[in-house]
């Protein structure tokens, strides 16, 4: 009696196994064949389950509010600590003795930091006069928007808003400026946009600091605003986060502030909010 049953089951099991193998092989091959999209979501995925847990599935003001709470949990640096931090976050991947300057793209000695011509200094991408927050510990020392820049180029950018157009900037190939705005080189357009929008999410009027927000103007002066939002959104699309920008975010998270720029991890959250 048991013998026929065993004989009946064996061919069925073999058939099932053959079907499973047949399905598994092509599926695995297809997954391996798809190149770039596989890497990004898995890298970000670790933070989605933990750091960004309370932001997932949200959009608009709810997403902005959730991200504000998340990124506000941070270690704060003094303005003097920013020098050494930038030497790590903006290190030239090809020369560990140098940093890469934001607007010029030049590689310059870490030790050439200072205020003289030929030095690099601490550029506030969200110009500190827009909200007049200075260099007290807070927005003025938040290295998510502080970058090494050539002293002369930094003074040309001054406190101008960001927009397309103008004439060439000496010492910063690819950058343009006119009387009321500055356009950085293509390689850092998205970086600039994501830094500005990080600041808008991070600073909402607490601890005596202004509520920073983007708008579509280029004459913001000392108002706690930076423009133009429509152009920053374009730049976020045109220049997605590269290895340098992602590594910078990671170094800030691991070593210095222990918070992240959400728009480097999720550039699609820019149009989800604005
Ligand atoms: Ca202009
Ligand atoms: Ca870039
Ligand atoms: Ca804000």
135 and 11 belong to one structural domain: no
CA 264 to centroid of ligand 3, rounded, Å? 18
The reply to whether 9 and 93 lie within a common domain is no
Q: Are residues 92 and 21 in the same domain?
A: no
State the pTM of this model: 0.84
- CA 241–ligand 2 middle distance (angstroms): 6
| Domain co-membership, 25 together with 65 | no
Q: Average pLDDT of 221-242?
A: 98
15 alpha carbon to ligand 1 midpoint, in Å? 71
Same domain, 3 and 27: yes
Confidence of residue 24 (pLDDT cuts 50, 70, 90): very low
Model confidence pLDDT, tens digit, residues 38-97: 444 444 567 999 999 999 999 999 999 999 999 999 999 999 999 999 999 999 999 999
d(CA 7, CA 179): 88
Kindly state whether residues 101 and 25 are assigned to the same domain: no
Measured in Å, residue 247 CA sits from the centre of ligand 2 at 12
CA of 225 to the centre of ligand 3 (A): 9
Query: Both 205 and 237 in a single domain?
Result: yes
Same domain, 164 and 253: yes
Query: What is the spatial distance between Cα 257 and Cα 274, in angstroms, rounded to a whole number?
Result: 26
What range does the domain containing 20 cover? 1-33
Residue 9 above 90 pLDDT?
Answer: no
Distance 138 CA to ligand 2 centre (A): 25
Number of structural domains in the chain: 2
Let me know whether 104 and 27 are in one domain.
no
Ligand number with the minimum distance to the CA of 224: 3
Which ligand has the nearest atom to the CA of 164? 1
**Same structural domain, 204 and 261:** yes
- Tell me the CA–centroid distance for residue 64 and ligand 3, in Å: 9
């Amino acid at each position: 009696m048991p013998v026929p049953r065993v004989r009946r089951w064996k061919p069925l099991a073999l058939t099932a196994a053959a079907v499973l193998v047949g399905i598994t092989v092509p599926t695995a091959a297809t997954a391996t064949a798809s190149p770039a999209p596989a890497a990004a979501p898995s890298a970000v995925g670790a933070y989605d389950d933990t750091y960004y847990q309370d932001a997932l599935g949200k959009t608009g003001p709810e997403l902005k509010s959730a991200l504000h709470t998340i990124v506000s949990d941070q270690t704060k640096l003094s303005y003097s600590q920013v020098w050494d931090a930038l030497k790590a976050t903006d290190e030239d991947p090809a020369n560990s003795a140098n940093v890469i300057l934001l607007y010029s793209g030049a590689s310059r000695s870490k030790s050439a930091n200072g205020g003289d011509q030929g030095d690099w200094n601490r550029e506030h991408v969200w110009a500190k006069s827009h909200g007049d927050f200075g260099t007290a510990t807070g927005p003025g020392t938040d290295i998510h928007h502080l970058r090494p820049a050539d002293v002369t180029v930094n003074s040309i950018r001054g406190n101008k808003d960001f927009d397309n157009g103008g004439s060439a900037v000496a010492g910063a190939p690819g950058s343009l400026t006119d009387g009321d705005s500055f356009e950085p080189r293509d390689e850092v357009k998205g970086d600039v946009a994501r830094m500005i929008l990080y600041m808008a999410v991070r600073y909402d009027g607490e601890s005596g600091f202004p509520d920073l927000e983007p708008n579509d103007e280029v004459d913001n002066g000392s108002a706690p605003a930076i423009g133009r939002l429509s152009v920053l959104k374009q730049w976020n699309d045109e220049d997605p986060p590269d290895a340098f920008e992602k590594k910078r975010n990671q170094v800030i998270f691991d070593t210095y502030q222990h918070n992240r720029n959400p728009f480097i991890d999720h550039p699609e959250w820019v149009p989800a909010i604005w």
